[in-house]
């Protein structure tokens, strides 16, 4: 898999649809990878440990698809480690300011422009590169996505988008709805949609990639119409629950 395969996906005219994984089972990861353009591993709310995240990155690379990993808020050390394990991009939740976005983006770049320590043994192997060749390509190929989901991020959006090292933004409609709606959870609401569309428009104008989480296919289509280029849809847990419910309903009917 080329190290820049995620950027190739983002350059397509149609949006990339990504499987979202909260489960640790590598077979589940394979199923998602065979169905979608890329795999997003949820290291914030998911059930994976470090070994599971490593194996998710490995399965993605061996199947020729990018892996994208969401770390916990503020966990810059894990962000760099996930890049070392072969992640094509890292998502940082709850970014609240340009200074936080800059620190995060630099954590995925080597010195002198960043703070990432050199040690990509696994990543270099997965991309079929020597460590030296990986080093030469990684700063431009491994993307940083700052999650826009707080009132602070909305207020500081122009400054966040002006961070040169930042690869893009990732919109979290649930937390965003809480932030702009005085504590009300309304990810599908009109105010949330308006905020998503505004962030997407401004990010695209600033030359940043725009990614988002969608609860279902209707949300994904709507967000694609707003200019979102990369869409994480549903989750392995939600898909499993929905499939079980559908089969039960069909049988009992």
CA dist., res. 29 & res. 42, Å (int): 12
pLDDT reading at 55 higher than 90: yes
C-alpha 113/C-alpha 88 separation (Å) is 19
Tokens (6 digits) for 160: 């966040």
Quick one: what percent of the chain has pLDDT higher than 70? 100
Q: Is the per-residue pLDDT at 249 higher than 90? A: yes
The answer to whether 45 is a known catalytic residue is yes
pLDDT above 90 (res 1): no
**Residue 220: per-residue pLDDT:** 98
As a whole number of angstroms, the distance between CA 210 and CA 200 comes to 6
Cα separations in angstroms, 64 against 37, 149, 211 = 10, 31, 20
Kindly report the number of other CB atoms within 10 A of residue 69's CB atom: 29
**Residues 103, 74 contacting (CB under 8 angstroms):** no
Torsion of CA 9, 12, 13, 15, to 10 degrees: -10
Whether the Cβ atoms of residue 204 and residue 210 lie closer than 8 Å to each other:
yes
Look at residue 85 and tell me whether its pLDDT is greater than 90: yes
Catalytic residue, chosen from 11, 34, 35, 45, is 45
Q: How much is the pTM?
A: 0.97
Segment 12-31 mean pLDDT: 97
Residues 134, 157: Cα–Cα separation, whole Å? 31
């Amino acid at each position: 898999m080329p190290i820049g395969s995620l950027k190739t996906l983002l350059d397509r005219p149609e949006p990339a649809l990504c499987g979202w994984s909260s489960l640790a089972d590598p077979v589940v990861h394979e199923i998602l990878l065979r169905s979608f353009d890329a795999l997003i591993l949820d290291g914030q709310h998911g059930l994976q440990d470090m070994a599971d995240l490593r194996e998710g990155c490995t399965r993605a690379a061996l199947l020729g698809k990018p892996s994208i990993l969401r770390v916990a808020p503020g966990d810059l050390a894990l962000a760099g480690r996930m890049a070392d394990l072969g992640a094509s991009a890292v998502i940082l939740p709850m970014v609240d300011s340009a200074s936080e976005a800059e620190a995060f983006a630099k954590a995925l770049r080597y010195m002198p422009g960043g703070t990432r320590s050199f040690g990509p043994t696994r990543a270099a192997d997965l991309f079929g590169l020597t460590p030296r060749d990986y080093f030469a390509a990684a700063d431009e190929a491994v993307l940083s996505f700052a999650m826009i989901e707080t009132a602070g991020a909305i207020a500081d959006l122009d400054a966040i988008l002006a961070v040169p090292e930042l690869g893009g933004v990732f919109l979290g409609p649930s937390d965003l709805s809480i932030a702009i709606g005085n504590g009300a959870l309304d990810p599908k609401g009109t105010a949330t949609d308006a905020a998503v569309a505004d962030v997407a428009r401004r990010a695209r104008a600033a030359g940043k990639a725009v990614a988002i989480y969608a609860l279902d296919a209707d949300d994904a289509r709507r967000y694609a119409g707003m200019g979102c280029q990369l869409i994480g849809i549903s989750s392995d847990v939600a898909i499993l629950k929905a499939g079980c419910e559908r089969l039960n309903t069909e049988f009992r009917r």
